[in-house]
Amino acid sequence: MRISQEQRRARIGVRHRLAGKAATPEEVAASVVALHGTDPATVFLSAGARLTAPGPEPVERALYADHTLVRMHGMRRTVFVVPAALAPVVHHSTALAIARRERASVLKAFGAGGWDEARLKDLEASVLRLLASGDATTVELGRLEPRLREQVTLAVGKPYEGVVSIGSRLLPLMALDGLLVRRGRAGGTWVSGTHYWSLAPEQAEWAAHEAQAELVSRWLAAFGPGTESDLKWWTGWTLKDVRRALSAVGAVAVELDEGTGYVLPGDTEEVAPSAPWASLLPALDPTPMGWQARDWYLPPEHRAELFDRNGNVGPTVWWDGRVVGGWAQRPDGEIVWRLLADVGADAVAAIEAEAAGLAAWLGGIRVTPRFRTPLERTLAS
């Protein structure tokens, strides 16, 4: 069976809650499996683009009060915000394998300074004892446990030489191991990247291969059809792991323009297209970052303007399942955007309405993407 580009774009609108909005941030996160959290503002902007009543309050409540959304390292070592029920799946399918590699890397980097496995474990135990008395930021932990502030120079003589502390590597490693979790905002506004560390709650145990199958099932439900290469890129797994998980869920092969894709069993029927929709999605939004092959929703000639050199997408303007431009926020807070395609008067009116709605709920908050792209820089200046 063949699934057309038009049908894939129709699925984006419906399944990613861009055509029909969601009532809660939890629904939003589930609709795209996970929200990108490397840039704290992305979580709020991605949710806002998909909520019937956008604003920072419901997202902060889910993250910091109800704990129904969890911030954690996951696929490709990226920070994500996931529904709480999915956190054990991401942990056992992905994070634990990354943690093993990261531990070896930390020991190699700090070995010359006398750090071995026993000393690292002793420091971890000290951090856990401190957090048992209450949450703390990285800076606060460093004051209480001076060993966290010990430094080493990495990549000596290289253009990217830099000095790092043991704490900057150890605390994220402990989170990857499932010992710590980022919970609570430590001052500032909702765009702040400073959070408290907490002891991680107990979570369900999953066998790695079962967790990988569950994650692939969630991805196919939200992003399918997709290719093996798409899944390998999105998860950061080996091709062997991807193929095993696809087999475990009984994925059905379909024909796409770029080759063989996969959907869940029973998901070969066409999705009825929604009314045309417009959206302003933030940098690192999960929709444009959902596939490795992007020509079916993003013209190749515009990629250099909308992505940075490391493959991070900037703010994008969407019309009915296609990226048609980019947007930015100027220093005075004004939302500005530029079309890269002729989309007609109806689309322009819809995009203008989306920009006005975004400006209204931002309420004067200034957002600058952590990873800046050529078009965003131009528009923001």
Domain boundary among 199, 224, 248: 199
89 and 195 together in one domain: yes
Please count the structural domains in the chain. Answer: 2
CA separation for the pair 39, 314 (Å, rounded): 11
189 and 292 together in one domain: no
Reported as a single tens digit per residue, the pLDDT across 329-359 is: 999 999 999 999 999 999 999 999 999 999 9
Statement: residue 194 has pLDDT above 90? no
Read off the pLDDT of each residue in 17-33 and give the average, rounded to a whole number.
Answer: 97
Q: Is residue 151 part of a domain?
A: yes
Please give the single-letter amino acid code of residue 159. P
Read off the pLDDT of each residue in 110-135 and give the average, rounded to a whole number.
Answer: 94
According to the model, what pLDDT value does residue 231 have?
Answer: 98
Reported as a single tens digit per residue, the pLDDT across 142-156 is: 999 999 999 988 777
Reported as a single tens digit per residue, the pLDDT across 351-371 is: 999 999 999 999 989 999 999
Q: Is residue 359 part of a domain?
A: yes
CA separation for the pair 381, 377 (Å, rounded): 6
Contact call for residues 58 and 29 (beta carbons, < 8 A): no
Please give the single-letter amino acid code of residue 350. A
190 and 287 together in one domain: no
Reported as a single tens digit per residue, the pLDDT across 229-283 is: 999 999 999 999 999 999 999 999 999 999 999 999 999 999 988 999 999 999 9
Q: Please classify residue 156 by burial: count the beta carbons closer than 10 Å to its beta carbon, then call 0-12 exposed, 13-18 middle and 19+ buried.
A: exposed
Contact call for residues 173 and 166 (beta carbons, < 8 A): no
Give the global pTM. Answer: 0.94
Read off the pLDDT of each residue in 24-43 and give the average, rounded to a whole number.
Answer: 96
Q: Is residue 149 part of a domain?
A: yes
290 and 191 together in one domain: no
Q: Please classify residue 332 by burial: count the beta carbons closer than 10 Å to its beta carbon, then call 0-12 exposed, 13-18 middle and 19+ buried.
A: exposed
According to the model, what pLDDT value does residue 92 have?
Answer: 98
According to the model, what pLDDT value does residue 65 have?
Answer: 92
According to the model, what pLDDT value does residue 25 have?
Answer: 98
Domain extent for 149: 85-199
Q: Is residue 68 part of a domain?
A: no
Read off the pLDDT of each residue in 30-52 and give the average, rounded to a whole number.
Answer: 97
Q: Is residue 263 part of a domain?
A: no
189 and 98 together in one domain: yes
Q: Is residue 15 part of a domain?
A: no
Read off the pLDDT of each residue in 211-231 and give the average, rounded to a whole number.
Answer: 98
Read off the pLDDT of each residue in 277-296 and give the average, rounded to a whole number.
Answer: 97
187 and 285 together in one domain: no
According to the model, what pLDDT value does residue 140 have?
Answer: 96
Distances (CA, A) of 278 to 4, 12, 75, 321, 376: 21, 12, 28, 8, 19
Report H helices in the chain. Answer: 5-15, 25-31, 40-48, 56-60, 87-90, 96-110, 117-132, 138-144, 166-176, 208-223, 228-235, 239-248, 303-306, 345-362, 374-380
Alpha-carbon torsion (197, 203, 207, 213), positive or negative: negative
Alpha-carbon torsion (72, 74, 76, 80), positive or negative: negative
Read off the pLDDT of each residue in 102-113 and give the average, rounded to a whole number.
Answer: 90
191 and 89 together in one domain: yes
Domain boundary among 154, 170, 199: 199
Q: Is residue 153 part of a domain?
A: yes
Q: Please classify residue 329 by burial: count the beta carbons closer than 10 Å to its beta carbon, then call 0-12 exposed, 13-18 middle and 19+ buried.
A: buried
DSSP structural state of residue 273: P
According to the model, what pLDDT value does residue 224 have?
Answer: 97
Q: Is residue 58 part of a domain?
A: no
- Per-residue confidence band for 376, with pLDDT thresholds at 50, 70 and 90: very high
- Please report, for the chain, how many H helices and E strands are present, in that order: 15, 13
Domain boundary among 166, 199, 232: 199
Reported as a single tens digit per residue, the pLDDT across 164-185 is: 999 999 999 999 999 999 888 8
180 and 285 together in one domain: no
CA separation for the pair 125, 179 (Å, rounded): 10
CA separation for the pair 189, 56 (Å, rounded): 10
